[in-house]
Each structure stands twice: as C-alpha cells, then as structure tokens.
Chains A and B, each alone.
Chain A
Amino acid sequence: MKAHRRALLTGLLATPFLARAQSAPPQPLERLREPGPVTLTEQQLAQRFTASPAPAGPPGQWEARAHLPLPRSEMAWATAARGRMHVIGGYGEQRVNRPYHHVYDPDADAWEIAPPLPLGANHVAVAATEDTVYAFGGFVQQNRDPHREAFAFDLSSKSWRSLAPLPRARGAAGLAIVDGMLHLIGGAQGNADRHSISWHEVYDPKADRWEARPDMPGFPLDHKGVVVVEGRIHVIGGRINTFATNVGHHRVYLPASGKWEDRTPMPTPRSGHGAVLLAGRIWCMGGEETNKVFGQLESYDPATDSWTSHAPMLTPRHGLGAAVLGNRIHVAGGGVVFGGGIQSSIHEAFTPA
C-alpha cells in the first residue's frame, strides 16, 4: 500500500514534467568517429608545458603528417615493423577498450585499418620483430582491471593468434625484445586497488612459454618508456601508481648478467610519454602529470650518459604512439589534456638536425 501511495503521489507531482519529457523529440547523435573539432578551454590550454631543464641541443624539426583514422589515446605504445608503424588498442569513440590496429605507411603518408586486436584494451604493451607484432596485456577498464591475454600478429598472413597467457594480469607494462626473448617489465595490476608493480617476466616465442626474472629494483613503475640499446634495456621515467607521483628515473637492465644499473635521470619527470631509439640516441617526448601535458623532446646519449633538449612537439600529448620509421620519429594520437578525457588523431613526425 505504501508503495502504491508513494507512486500515486509521485505521479501526481510528476505529471506535468512527464508530459513535457515525452513531447521532446529525440535528437540524433553524431558519430564519435568524426574527428572534431575539439575546442580546448583556456584552462585546458594552460596545461601545456614544453620547457625542458636539459641543455639545448640541435632543435630538429617537427611536421604534421596524415591524421590517424580517428581520435585515440592511451595506446601506450606503438611499434614499427617492416618500415611501418603499428598503433594498437587504447581509448576512442568514448570507449576505453578499443581493439584498433592502425598501420601507417610513410611512403604513402596514409593509414591502413588492419585486423583488430582480438581483445580491446588500453595500455597494451607492444613490440615487434621483422615477422611479428606482439601485444601483451592491457587494461579493459579505464587505466585499470588488466587482462592476461597475449597476442601475436603475423605480418605475412595478417592475422592474430593467441599466445601463452601472461603469468599475471597487468597493463601499462614495458615490452622489449633482446635476442629473440620478450621482456615484460613493470606496469600496474588491480582494479579498485590498482597499483604499480616491479614484475619482470620473459616470454620465449619459440617455446610459447613464460619465465620469471627477479623484480625490477627500486620503485614499482607503470606508464614508463622502454628502449633497447645494444642489447641493454633502458627503463625511463614513469609513475608510481598515479601521475601525481611521476619519476625521471633511468635504469638499465643487462640481460647477460641479470643486473640493473642506474643512469642519468630524464630531465623532465613524466609518465605516458613516448621513448624510441634513433641514430644511437634515446628520444623521449610527451607525457603527463597532474594538470600538465608535456611537449618536451629530450634525447639521451648512452656514450656520454647525458641528456639534451630539442624542439618540442607541435601539440603536447600523452598516451601516444611513437615509433621510428627511416630517419624520422612518428608520434600519433594521444590525449591533449591530462587524463583520458579528450583523444586526438594528430600525427606529427620529427626529423633530427
């Protein structure tokens, strides 16, 4: 009876509002696939930071290239194989678990929509050999709730296959290939209790098997940069749990001895940045922090253990895809404000001086 009385009373009060609501015609939604325009507020534009504390080096030059097929972010990261860049997974179309697989051909300055990742996710760890693109783990929710799936894309047959699952679910990990072995380092695990991890596990593609390695020393980190230089794995920057606690730490793993060594930290502590190897130097660009989106481009010389700054990105971004094609660094997509709210299809390429 009580429920009936309440319904009756509510109905009585709501009648005029219901009538008004029912008379409103449905508005058609525009497809989110359209690129924009996205107009940033002054407050959002104020998030952009491009000044580097590193000594200035030759600036080099950025130029705009063909846009991604649609706005994306939180790919973290991209990889190159056979002279083409593969950008996999991430946010897009107001979803956080997209299976996108876009491939860029620099000769044609055009993107191809390749067979999608078998499971949509963000912050998928990627790396490639000449024959295969690997995609390990990732989050199925907004920067949390990782999965254990591991996939390989065969470049000849253009098809994905499942590999032995990760020993433990994680996302935002770094993936590097040394001597045919795939090293999966750090990242984050958990859902409501999401936190960074120090795990180091190695996948052997010939045996389709995983092996554990001792944890990465120091702080657990996710959203970091991982680059291989002469058989050594450089782990650069990243965050401890959140982008409010970014680091500039720079450590090197020596697979032959299993030891870790410290190197000169990255001048701009950041996470969600890109990191690539070009002309013997490591190049780090973009990234985010609380209320900040970075455009700094800083390069590291392993021979002198020192950092230099260069021309900043035309559009500061984070959660981007970066890869080297020929003598250029290509940076595609990414968030133009901190956090995962606004994606972009922007694609810019950098040529060192």
Chain B
Amino acid sequence: MKPSRPPEALPRRGALLLAGGVLAAGASWLAWPRAAAPGFGPLHLGMTRAEALRALGPAALPAPLCGGVEGVLFDWPDPALHPRPVPAMAMFAATEARLSEMEASLSHPDGGLGLAEWQAMVAAQREEMARRLGTTPQPGPAEEDAMGAARHWRFAAAGAEVTLASRWMRRSGAGYTRLHWLAAGQEAVITG
C-alpha cells in the first residue's frame, strides 16, 4: 500500500492567494464609504436605474419626462418616520441613469394636529433622520419656500444634502413635511 503524502502546512499557492486577498481586502476597506449613501426605503443616491427598479419591484413604473429626466413614484413603509406607507419619488438623470434626487412626503393632510403635536412630530422625524445620517441638522433659511414651509433643517450627509421642510396649517391643523435628498454636484429638479 502506497503511503499518502503528508499534507503541507501552508501550500505555496495558497499562501500567495491569501496574501493577494489581504491586499485586495485592504484596498477595498480604504475605498469603502464611511457611511451608507443617503436614501429612502430600498433606494439610495447613486444607484443605477436598473438597480432601483429591481429593488422597487414590477409595480414601480418610471415616467419619461421632458428635459431628459425620468422619475418613479413609489410607496414604502417606514414606521419610524410615518405611520402610513410613505409616498416617495426618485429621479434619474437620463444620461447616466443614476439616482440623483429623491423626495418623500411625511405629511398629515387630514388635519386635527395642535401646534405642539405638530412640533413634536417634526422633532421626532428630525431626530430619526439625524440618527440615520449620523449628522446634526442645521436650521435652514427662515423664508417660506414654494410649499409654504417656514421650518427647514439641512443635514450635510456623505455625498448629498438632505433637507427636511415642514409647515403647519392653523385652521385645519394639518401638517405638511417633506424630505429631500440631492446628490452632491447635481442640479435640483425638485424645487420648493
């Protein structure tokens, strides 16, 4: 009976592979973003159109727009931000077809909120976004935007600017709040 060869403790080829792997892993560690790209639901800024549509599923229908821009509306449950599924919109620059801008509505249009209730609700949404983005929001300009929102907060997130804007209607007690993400270096299509 032929004796079997004793196993090598560390074959030469294996050692080279391991060393290469360590080098590649080190490089990837350096290249890995310090924070996840900002986004909402399954989407994040910079995603390709194909990736985003795959993540949203077949119900998401992108709409071709004038001006070389495409958008897709979708709902996503996010109980930490809103008790109902949150309506959101994602926009793609046509040439690169990457997700460059997003907006989500955290509005309570039915009304019935007192001023203190609305303030508490927006404060909770602001704190949740600060926790997710790992950054403290800065108060934005005091003037009203096209939505009529007089309260703005800006989060300087990695590779993007995220804005929370809100308003409260005195007579009906309705609250209108929107979250807006804009990738760094992109021109905003959604204004106001």
Residues of chain A at the chain B interface (Cβ within 8 Å): 7-8, 11-12, 14-15, 18-19, 21, 24, 26-38, 71, 93-97, 99, 116, 118-120, 140-142, 145-149, 162-165, 169, 191-192, 340-342
Chain A residues positioned under 8 Å from B63 (CB to CB): 94, 340-342
Is there an interface contact between A15 and B27, defined as CB atoms closer than 8 Å?
A: yes
From A34, A99, A162, A342, give the contact of B64 (CB < 8 A).
A342
Q: B95 an interface residue at 8 Å Cβ cutoff?
A: yes
From B32, B98, B100, B187, give the contact of A7 (CB < 8 A).
B32
Interface segment, one of B52-60, B120-128, B129-137, B167-175: B167-175
Chain B residues positioned under 8 Å from A28 (CB to CB): 187
From A24, A94, A116, give the contact of B146 (CB < 8 A).
A116
Bound CA span A146–B109, Å: 7
Bound CA span A71–B69, Å: 14
Q: Given A7-B32, A30-B67, A30-B69, is A95 in contact with B190 using a C-beta cutoff of 8 Å?
A: yes
Q: B189 an interface residue at 8 Å Cβ cutoff?
A: yes
List 9 tightest A-B contacts by C-beta distance, closest first: A11-B28, A165-B172, A147-B109, A30-B67, A341-B63, A26-B185, A27-B95, A148-B172, A11-B32
Is there an interface contact between A34 and B169, defined as CB atoms closer than 8 Å?
A: no
Q: B41 an interface residue at 8 Å Cβ cutoff?
A: no
Bound CA span A163–B170, Å: 11
Is there an interface contact between A162 and B93, defined as CB atoms closer than 8 Å?
A: no
Is there an interface contact between B66 and A36, defined as CB atoms closer than 8 Å?
A: yes
Question: Could you give 19 example pairs across A and B, Cβ below 8 Å?
Answer: A26-B100, A26-B183, A27-B96, A29-B186, A32-B67, A35-B66, A36-B66, A93-B190, A94-B65, A94-B71, A94-B189, A118-B148, A119-B148, A119-B176, A140-B176, A149-B171, A165-B111, A165-B171, A341-B61
Counting chain B CB atoms within 10 Å of each CB, the highest count among A19, A33, A141 belongs to: A141
Q: Given A116-B146, A120-B147, A342-B63, is A11 in contact with B189 using a C-beta cutoff of 8 Å?
A: no
Bound CA span A183–B73, Å: 33
Is there an interface contact between B111 and A162, defined as CB atoms closer than 8 Å?
A: no
CB distance from B51 to the nearest CB of A (A): 11
Is there an interface contact between A29 and B64, defined as CB atoms closer than 8 Å?
A: no
Bound CA span A8–B66, Å: 41
Bound CA span A11–B24, Å: 9
Q: B31 an interface residue at 8 Å Cβ cutoff?
A: yes
Is there an interface contact between A32 and B189, defined as CB atoms closer than 8 Å?
A: yes
Bound CA span A274–B89, Å: 29
CB distance from A344 to the nearest CB of B (A): 10
Chain B residues positioned under 8 Å from A165 (CB to CB): 111, 169, 171-172
Is there an interface contact between A169 and B109, defined as CB atoms closer than 8 Å?
A: yes
Which residue on A lies nearest to B62, using beta carbons?
A341
Q: B68 an interface residue at 8 Å Cβ cutoff?
A: yes
Chain A residues positioned under 8 Å from B146 (CB to CB): 99, 116, 120
Q: B157 an interface residue at 8 Å Cβ cutoff?
A: no
Q: Given A11-B25, A29-B187, is A24 in contact with B96 using a C-beta cutoff of 8 Å?
A: yes
CB distance from A203 to the nearest CB of B (A): 13
Bound CA span A36–B69, Å: 11
Is there an interface contact between B65 and A32, defined as CB atoms closer than 8 Å?
A: yes
Chain B residues positioned under 8 Å from A30 (CB to CB): 67-69
Bound CA span A145–B170, Å: 19
From B24, B94, B189, give the contact of A93 (CB < 8 A).
B189
Bound CA span A165–B64, Å: 36
Chain B residues positioned under 8 Å from A149 (CB to CB): 169, 171-172, 174
B66-110 to A contact mask, C-beta < 8 Å, 1/0: 111101010100000000110101010111101010000101011
Bound CA span A18–B27, Å: 12
Q: B46 an interface residue at 8 Å Cβ cutoff?
A: yes
From B28, B95, B110, B176, give the contact of A169 (CB < 8 A).
B110
Chain B residues positioned under 8 Å from A96 (CB to CB): 73
Bound CA span A148–B174, Å: 8
Is there an interface contact between A140 and B109, defined as CB atoms closer than 8 Å?
A: yes
Is there an interface contact between B186 and A26, defined as CB atoms closer than 8 Å?
A: yes
Counting chain B CB atoms within 10 Å of each CB, the highest count among A29, A30, A145, A192 belongs to: A29
